[in-house]
Structure 1
């Protein structure tokens, strides 16, 4: 059971909210169509239900809000627009990465590839998929967690008829297993043909909630479609002649030059236009939705009849507004349905339905009392601590390390960045080794004075920047409201995986450069310095620090370019300032600090600590090291500040 109660989006500038006090439900075992024209607020309603957009209202998934569901991918599978994924990733790689998000084995990706018929496209890149294959991939991604509910936004848009029929068959099969299916569409005939229940909205408000059979009988009526520059004039003439002949004819104008005539045919409309000299651009008979009443404005208590208030909520009643026929009336108030209501029922497991304890809206401001039935008691409120934790609970991949590894290895940009860094380092090392005055550590690191950073540090910075940059550019994870960082477990996984990748890159560059120098110039020209442990630690710290700087900057500013800029700013902008502060003429030195500390802590001060303290001071005294440490501290504080300030919901 999926219940949306009082959904209202944030008002836009000088415009009403896209969704205004929308209440409906999608029952298990049924396919529910959310019908409305373009701009009616269908997509906004789905985003409000999934917590992807800020607004008011609540949505219950089998009696619980989504933020209180332990494993959201196993409760609801969503497809909003195209499949979000890196265009260079393969279909199989994309599904296996989503498996890590849903916390299911990677073998389920292969099973669903076979189920949706993607065997021949499994190794194809996402950027080369056709519209039909992309829809199949989206359905497979939504079904990976074996969810109870499916929420899809225009799933058949742009599909050929046979692909649309296949997709509707998948939705029907999911509903037959006891699942809940909700999809949006702008085609009333398709909704009446493929859905069990039709929920129609217009201007963000509910105008109908009917069974598909009732909707087809009362709303899909034969009509004459007319296109003329004088639509209002023709409508007036048709209405005048029908009134004189005592016939029921209704003319509805749309978009200025379009006219729909109900209760007439092409011959009568054409003759009327000919008699009055009205130019026609189109005249055709079709079957379409009947004229819709306007969404209800705010109702007052006096506007409700006693029969409108039922023991379980507000139920659709006979209209009391003048000018509407019973067969043409669409309920305008929000409705709450009992599980004993008529219509197909689910054969699958159900949880007790939530009974709101507050009155529900019957318009924009009215709240009517809702009482629970004896068989369905109102659930007890959650404890205060649970409510506080549930309101700020953040969700990410259920298996973050597996997700991050698949994300890192599933795109060619990682291999290109790492391979390019190793190749450039080897070439620069050989060129630097030609000069006898070049120190061996500089040649092995391939760090000439013309470059702000060695190629290994730049490559590690690229890997770190892409780690969060691709996360926002191609969001596989649900996008959260506001520019907030990702969930803490995912951030830790990214830091660990990025550090391990940078460490492997640092070791690989050092080994490859050293072997290249020995191969070209011989081993006798590359002596091993006595302080090689300190040099190795400094080298690894530089590469890993650049990777983390790119990662944190991309997470704060939500762009890979910001991460790369942060890495380059360390030696170009921050290091000169630090160098002036550390090596300026008025700066005092810390020479003799180990001896003074020994005097203060004697006899507990170990003699081996002098050597480690001297090495640490030499590392800290490097301007690039201090600048990198300051940058990491500032970026980490900004990252944590954004995470504490914004409320991210997963």
Structure 2
């Protein structure tokens, strides 16, 4: 059950609020349509309910606001627009990555692909999916956590009749198993056909709160559907009698032998047909535009063909959702929707809470979890601001799927290795480069070797892709500045940078020995120290790119930070080290030993000296300083967002 109470958006400057004091409820086991014209504030309502937009009011999801739900993905599934994701990622890879964010087993992705009819497209890229397939993937994404509630923004917009029928059949099955469904639409006829309950808004204000049958009866134009083999004769008779009696009757000839009559009733049309000797096969009251019967119109029969609903897919016992994804339905469940779908008898008999009107003491009431019983809703109006959702729940698994789920990472690695090999062979042929420079393909004219630039690019893409293709942000606000997510990105990026760095050294050494002999790539005597420096350079560049893209929210900024370290930061530090205030690192371990309370082994002095000597190098010092500054900036911006 959902209860939205006093939702009010924060206006910009002198503009009016898109949503103003909106209160309604959505009961479990029903499909509810949020109806309104374009610009009425439907999307804003959903964003306020999900705490993605600042405003006032509160929404209870089974008695709890969203920020107090332990696992939001297992309480509410969201589809706002198209599925956000890298166009090069596969359908299965996208679901596995988001499954790691939701904390569900990896096998859940394969189960849902079969449930929504995408089992044969698991290897397709997101950029190649049609609108209908993209919407199916969006539903699978919303159902990943097996949520109790589904919130969808215009899910049927642009879909074919067959896809819409399938979609609303799945929503109906989810509601029939105790779930709660709320979707937005601007088509009143669609709302009448598919919803048990209709909440109508205009300019962000509540207009009507009705069940489906009442909405169709009072707010849609009634009509009579007639089917007769003598459609032209009956239409002419109805028109002549209406003109003679000066009644406003409109007769619309449909395809085949069908007529649609507005402004009349079944008894009147039946009497007219009897008087004129016209055979009638069908005579029924309808509301809205339900379209022709598929059985008598072969052109539309395929669109209305029964579509089997998905098989049940259950989560582990720890889930808080309704328990299953829709299972195969009977023939009645898969039949085409006709006229108005009335809610079940037990739901029609249940009392419905009416919206609360303004009162003098409304603002003094205390908010609290609502009950399922009837009665007026409370009127709390606490300030509401976007809050980062605790996601991903499996940060390392999420980051591995995110980084290696697309072709960008292997292409960057292949390009870096190829450029490094060609550059190393060219430097060996030209001469003048020391062996350690040949192994890493680092000529003196370049500020950084290709491997370091490649590691920086991988790091920049780590956060750059999050903002360009927001897998976490599509339905949950901005990318969360969660410490676990940052640590996972740092760890995975560091491991990738190390693998790239030593892969380049191994391939360059093999190529040099193959072309120029063993003497071209000798193993240096101080290879442990050189290896440590090389690893530190690769990891430092990767982290600088990652944090730069995280702070400035764009991939180019992360790459620019990596390039700026040797070109801007190093000259500044060299100037500082050359000044009279600069001191030597000689004797640093002895001075630290005097200041420390605990005594460490003498062998540790060699490691301290090596680390101090490494940090004393301008490039290493500039890289360490840049990473430290970017990390502080990232943490400060994250703390400031949480404080809001």
* Pair 1:343 & 2:348 matched: yes
User: C-alpha offsets along residues 177-214 of structure 1, whole Å, 9 cap, x if unaligned?
Assistant: 00000000000011011000000000001110000100
SS at match of 2:642: coil
Q: CA deviation at 1:549?
A: 0.8
Which blocks of at least 5 consecutive residues in structure 2 are unaligned? 224-245, 250-261, 265-285, 290-344, 376-381
Match of 1:131 in 2: 131
Partner of 2:558: 563
Cα pair distance change 1:605/1:192, threshold 3 Å: closer
RMSD: 3.7
Say whether the 8 Å CA contact 2:78–2:475 is kept in structure 1.
no
Counterpart secondary structure, 1:64: coil
Question: What is the DSSP-based 3-state SS (H/G/I as helix, E as strand, rest coil) of the residue aligned with 2:17?
Answer: coil
Q: Distance in 2 between matches of 1:599 and 1:107?
A: 54
Is the partner of 1:647 in helix, strand or coil?
helix
User: Aligned match of 1:581 in 569, 576, 583?
Assistant: 576
Post-superposition offset of 1:360: 5.5
1:495–1:548 contact (8 Å) kept in structure 2: yes
* Partners of 2:558 and 2:96 in 1: CA distance: 27
Give the distance between the partners of 1:372 and 1:533, measured in 2 at CA: 63
1:542 aligns with 2:537: yes
Secondary structure at the residue paired with 1:210?
strand
- The structural deviation recorded for 1:610 is 4.8
Deviations 1:503-544 (A, max 9, x none): 111111111111111112211233332322111111101100
Structure 1 partner of 2:81: 81
Alignment equivalent of 1:438, drawn from 433, 436, 442: 433
Whole-Å Cα distance in 2 between the matches of residues 483 and 31 of structure 1? 29
Within 5 A, what are the aligned runs for 1:527-538? 527-538=522-533
Change (3 A) 1:392 1:196: closer
Deviation at 1:221, TM superposition (A): 2.2
Q: CA–CA distance in 2 between the matches of 1:426 and 1:442?
A: 12
**Equivalent-residue separation in structure 1 for 2:67 and 2:93 (angstroms):** 28
Alignment of 1:311-390 (within 5 A): 343=348, 362=358, 367=363
> Are the structure 2 counterparts of residues 640 and 201 from structure 1 closer, same or farther at C-alpha, using a change threshold of 3 Å?
same
Q: CA deviation at 1:589?
A: 4.5
Cα pair 2:84 2:474 within 8 Å, conserved: no
| Alpha-carbon spacing, 1:205–1:455, altered in 2? closer, same or farther (3 Å) | same
Select which of 600, 618, 627 maps to 2:622: 627
Q: Tell me whether 1:407 sits opposite 2:402 in the alignment.
A: yes
Pick the aligned partner of 1:510 from 505, 513, 527.
Answer: 505
Answer yes or no: is the 8 Å Cα contact 1:578–1:627 preserved in 2. Answer: yes
How far has the Cα of 1:435 moved from its partner? Answer: 3.9
Answer yes or no: is the 8 Å Cα contact 2:473–2:479 preserved in 1.
no
**Structure 1 pair 93–598 and aligned structure 2 pair: CA distance change class (3 A):** closer
Residues 126, 365 of structure 1: alpha-carbon distance in 2 compared, 3 angstrom cutoff: farther
Distance 1:482 1:107 in 2: 26
For residues 372 and 419 of structure 1, the distance between their equivalents in structure 2, rounded to whole angstroms, comes to 56
Cα offset, 1:110, TM superposition: 1.1
Secondary structure of 2:78's counterpart equals strand
CA contact (8 A) 1:554 1:561 kept: yes
Change (3 A) 1:599 1:365: closer
Change in Cα spacing, 1:197 to 1:623, as seen in structure 2 (3 Å) is same
* Separation in structure 1 between the aligned mates of residue 369 and residue 618 of structure 2, nearest angstrom: 70
CA–CA separation in structure 2 for the residues paired with 1:481 and 1:111: 24
- How far apart, CA to CA, are the structure 1 residues paired with 2:248 and 2:520? 103
State the TM-score, normalized to the length of structure 1.
0.74
Please report how far the alpha carbon of residue 469 of structure 1 lies from its aligned counterpart in structure 2 after TM superposition: 0.9
How has the CA–CA distance of structure 1 residues 215 and 535 changed in structure 2, closer, same or farther, with 3 Å as cutoff?
same
Maintained 8 Å contact 1:74/1:146: yes
1:143–1:596: structure 2 CA closer, same or farther, 3 Å change rule? closer
Contact 1:30 1:345 in 2 (8 A): no
Distance in 1 (CA, whole Å) between partners of 2:137 and 2:491 is: 30
CA contact (8 A) 2:192 2:288 kept: no
Measure how far apart 1:579 and its partner are.
1.6
Give runs of aligned pairs for residues 492-507 of structure 1, distance below 5 A: 492-507=487-502
Decide whether aligned partners of structure 1 residues 439 and 27 sit closer, same or farther in structure 2, where only a CA change above 3 A counts.
same
Between 1:487-496 and 1:207-216, the stretch displaced more is 487-496
Classify 1:86/1:593 alpha carbon distance in 2 versus 1 (closer, same or farther; 3 Å). same
Residues 297-327 of structure 1 deviation map (CA, whole Å, 9 limit, x = unaligned): xxxxxxxxxxxxxxxxxxxxxxxxxxxxxxx
2:457 — aligned with what? 462
Q: Is the 8 A contact 2:19 2:41 kept in 1?
A: yes
What's the offset of the Cα at 1:427?
1.3
Aligned equivalent of 1:186: 186
Contact 2:192 2:216 in 1 (8 A): yes
Shift of 1:485: 5.1
Contact 1:445 1:513 in 2 (8 A): yes
- Residue deviations 1:554-608 (CA, integer Å, cap 9, x gap): 1111111111111111111111111222235x46541642596499689968553
Higher mean Cα deviation, 601-610 or 556-565? 601-610
The corresponding residue for 2:214 is 214
- Conserved 8 A contact 1:361-1:368: no
Q: Distance in 2 between matches of 1:55 and 1:600?
A: 58
Q: Check conservation: 2:388, 2:481, Cα contact below 8 A.
A: no
Structure-2 change in CA distance of 1:399 and 1:607 (3 Å): closer
Unaligned runs of 5+ in 1: 224-245, 250-261, 265-285, 290-339, 347-352, 379-386
Within 5 A, what are the aligned runs for 1:139-288? 139-221=139-221
Tell me if structure 1 keeps the 8 A contact 2:34–2:200: yes
Q: Is the 8 A contact 2:80 2:474 kept in 1?
A: no
CA-to-partner distance for each residue in 1:466-515, whole Å, 9 max, x for gaps?
11111111111136998775222111111111111111111111111111
Change (3 A) 1:373 1:169: closer
Shift of 1:133: 0.6
- Cα 1:64–1:344 shift into 2, 3 Å: farther
Rounded to whole Å, the distance in 2 between the matches of 1:19 and 1:561 is 37
Does structure 2 retain, via aligned residues, the 8 Å contact 1:485–1:639?
no
Match of 1:113 in 2: 113
Match of 2:517 in 1: 522
**1:202-246 deviation line (CA, Å, top 9, x unaligned):** 0001110000100110111269xxxxxxxxxxxxxxxxxxxxxx9
Q: Check the 8 A contact 1:151/1:182 in 2, yes or no.
A: yes
Q: Residues 364 and 165 of structure 1: is their aligned pair in 2 closer, same or farther, counting only changes over 3 Å?
A: farther
